[in-house]
Structure 1
Amino acid sequence: MTLTMTETAVGVPPLAGFTVGVTAARRAEELAAMLERRGAQIMHGAALRLIPLADDAELYAATRRLVEDPPDITVATTGIGFRGWVEAAEGWGIGDELLAALGSGVLLARGPKVRGQIRTCGLVEEWSPASESSAEVLDHLLARGVDGVRIAVQLHGEPLPDMVDALTMAGADVVQVPVYRWAPPADLGPLDRLTDAVLCCGVDVLTFTSAPAVVSMLARAAERGVREQLLDAMRRHVMVMCVGPVTAAPLEALDVPTLQPARSRLGAMVRHLEAEMPARARRLPVAGHRLELRGHAVLVDGELRPVPPAGMALLRVLARRPGRVVPRAELLAALPGNSGDEHAVETAMTRLRTALREPKLIQTVVKRGYRLALDPTAQPAGGHCA
């Protein structure tokens, strides 16, 4: 029994047949596991690494300054950063003094994770923004007035010049607390391979969980001379999913469209992705069957059938003009490897038909090329994968 246009495949995970690129360093395994449970194939290339500063003289100096002269307001930006700060202070033997200094003033938490860490330490935050953004924290501080106010700002891997400069210009005494910093990954190989996969359309979705990861990936691409090609691929071929607006900002400033969940959480991002990707799949009524084209696989009447990369390249070209003859030369140009031998098309087509297990789906038109045997009475539907 074939599927109608409104039916969905039963028993096929929502992300089966799609390849998702993961750039995260922290919580990468957790994100990958959630995606894999939904059927996705994962390609991981960490775009950065986290360097704790527990032994850093700058962090120690900032902590000592705040213990000796407690802040009126402390802005805590990340849970891992706040916890690391307290643990570092405990290692230096001044943990209790730091908590007492922070507790003597007002605590602002940028989001729920750091709010949880503040409470775990026995402290209570006064306010937290609904947007979980540093911009809203800054607006809140400026609205209440900061002239003459001593403010500690816990950094989250990179400087916050906009916030620090605005507070300083408004008259605040700002103490920056660099709890950790981001750096390029020690092994650049996985990131380079992920970038190459994006460039050759081997990845359907590229995920980012932090703005520094975006900056780092683009910087590495620039070093390799492929930055513009990477941006072009993200604008045209690869869907970019960001955990929230702060992460997406560097990409949107470069006119790269992004998708974001309603809440800036890994789970919400994965749920958004599992709803979005099947809707984007290309669906075609062909030779009495229902085809659904996904990233590296095809659903034939609801059954998932993996297809080799060369076969998927041919199928995408055929699906752009279903029912019409596509010349061998055009199909040859779509094959990976830049082969000049049209025999490569025949070889890839044979393997494609074998993978689909329905030889009548693709017809050979003698001396002209190939065509998808589109059912004449039905209309194709679905999204962008073709």
Structure 2
Amino acid sequence: MCDDGRVQEVLSGSTVGVTAERKAEEIGDMLARRGARVLFGAAMHTVPLPEDGELAAATREVLSAPVDFVVAITGVGFRGWVEAAGDELVQHLAGARVVARGAKAKGAVRGAGLREEWTSPSEESAEVRDHLLERGVAGKRVVLQVHGDPMLEFRRALTDAGAEVVPVAVYRWTDPVDLAPLDQLIDAVIAGEVDALPFTSAPAATNFLARADRTDRGEALRTALREVLIACVGPVTAAPIAKAGLPHVLPDRARTAALVKLVEQELSAR
């Protein structure tokens, strides 16, 4: 809550760019209540795979044989899969060991009438991977609900350990429908008009940089970003930023509210 006037004014004079799509309004409202000027520029668009048949094909593969482990990575993804596939899928997965990456994924699992065996305390994919490897996956069939990022390293680790991995992508990422706001945000960063950029997903971070590269602004953007507070909601989201060699900060918990609070604290300190 931001009822205290001092909290409302804490980001007065600061400009924050928001690249999220699904959580843009939520993040923008939280920042605006703290006095920030908010520039919106969605860096990607979510396309549900039921629209082009890929999810149905993946579901048929899952149903073709018994499943030993099910990995729910995101709440919205797992929920969307169950809604699209129906009761047959739930019944087929009922005998499997279900692992959830975090609280939202666990909620989606329980909402489907299933029960998780374990949930990652850190809500990080790497911890889920390590848990599965510790349990032993040799000869096991593992269904992995992925989240836009195909999670190739995760899958390779399980495959190398002897598992059969069946990836299920419920949605994929594309460029935003309207590129103009994203281009305007990139230009604003290059012009030195943006103080902070919070990122809530790896695809958004990836495409923010990639869009600049495709429009011959990549070098200028990366130079400007070294003077901008880049805040990533968690290590997965931070991976493309770290790969680009850009300084960034992460909140203690992978939550939107914690991310906004971190931006508030860091900008206030500056």
**TM-score, normalised via structure 2 length:** 0.95
Measured in 1, the distance between the counterparts of 2:257 and 2:180 equals 28
The answer to whether the 8 Å contact 1:211/1:249 transfers is yes
Instruction: Please list, as runs of the form range in 1=range in 2, the aligned pairs for 1:1-386 lying within 5 A after superposition.
Output: 13-89=9-85, 95-235=86-226, 237-280=227-270
User: Does the 8 Å contact 2:198/2:259 carry over to 1?
Assistant: no
Distance 1:12 1:138 in 2: 41
Query: What per-residue deviation string (whole Å, max 9, x for no partner) do you get for residues 5-39 of structure 1?
Result: xxxx9586111111100000111111111111111
Kindly indicate whether the alpha-carbon contact (under 8 Å) linking 2:231 and 2:262 is maintained by their aligned counterparts in 1.
Answer: no
SS of 1:54's equivalent in the other structure is: helix
Contact 2:20–2:199 (8 Å) recurs in 1: yes
Secondary structure in structure 1 of the residue aligned to 2:162? coil
What is the one-letter code of the residue matched to 1:201?
Answer: G
Please give the alpha-carbon distance, in whole angstroms, between the structure 2 residues aligned to 1:177 and 1:78: 12
Q: Are the aligned partners of 1:149 and 1:171 in contact in 2 as well (CA < 8 Å)?
A: yes
Mapped partners of 2:166, 2:53: distance in 1? 15
Q: Give, in angstroms, the shift of residue 88 of structure 1.
A: 1.0
Deviations 1:292-347 (A, max 9, x none): xxxxxxxxxxxxxxxxxxxxxxxxxxxxxxxxxxxxxxxxxxxxxxxxxxxxxxxx
Is the 2:100–2:106 contact (alpha carbons within 8 Å) kept by the matching residues of 1?
yes
Cα deviation code 1:29-58 (max 9, x no counterpart): 111111111111100000000000113332
Distance 2:6 2:213 in 1: 44
Q: Which stretches of structure 1, 4 residues or longer, exceed 4 Å deviation after superposition?
A: 9-12
Higher relative contact order (CA closer than 8 Å, sequence separation 6+): 2
Deviation at 1:254, TM superposition (A): 2.0
Q: Which moved more, 1:267-276 or 1:64-73?
A: 64-73
When normalised by structure 1's length, the TM-score is 0.67
**Matches of 2:261 and 2:154, distance apart in 1:** 32
Identity %: 53
Following the alignment from structure 2 to structure 1, what is the Cα–Cα distance between the partners of residues 152 and 6?
Answer: 51
Q: 1:75 to 1:10 in 2, by over 3 A?
A: closer
1:51 is aligned with what amino acid?
V
RMSD of aligned alpha carbons = 1.4
SS of 2:165's equivalent in the other structure is strand
Gaps of at least 5 residues in structure 1 are: 1-8, 90-94, 281-386
User: Deviations 1:125-180 (Å, cap 9, x if unpaired)?
Assistant: 11111221111111111111111100000010121110111211211111110110
The structure with more radius of gyration: 1
Q: For the residues of structure 2 that align with 1:210 and 1:171, how far apart are their CA atoms?
A: 30
Report the 3-state secondary structure (helix = DSSP H, G, I; strand = E; otherwise coil) of the residue aligned with 1:190. Answer: helix
Question: What's the secondary structure of 1:198's corresponding residue?
Answer: helix
Equivalent position SS for 2:225 = helix
Q: Verify the 8 A CA contact 2:198 2:263 in the aligned structure 1.
A: no
**Contact residue 205 and residue 241 of structure 2 kept, 8 A:** yes
Could you say if the C-alpha distance between residues 143 and 11 of structure 1 is closer, same or farther in structure 2, counting changes exceeding 3 Å? closer
| Bigger helix fraction | 2
Alpha carbons of 1:163 and 1:12: their partners in 2 closer, same or farther (altered >3 Å)? closer
Query: Aligned to 1:251, what secondary structure does the other structure show?
Result: helix
Between stretches 224-233 and 271-280, larger displacement belongs to 271-280
What CA distance in whole angstroms lies between the structure 2 residues aligned with 1:172 and 1:192?
43
Assess if the C-alpha contact under 8 Å between 2:98 and 2:115 holds in 1. Answer: yes
Gaps of 5+ in 2: none
* Equivalent AA in structure 1 for residue 266 of structure 2: E
1:79-107 Cα offsets, whole Å, 9 max, x none, are 11011101111xxxxx1111111221000
Seen in structure 2, the aligned counterparts of structure 1 residues 185 and 127 have a Cα distance that, compared at 3 Å, is same
Residue-pair matches, total: 266
Which secondary structure state, in structure 2, belongs to the residue aligned with residue 118 of structure 1? helix
Conservation of the 8 A alpha-carbon contact between 1:54 and 1:84: no
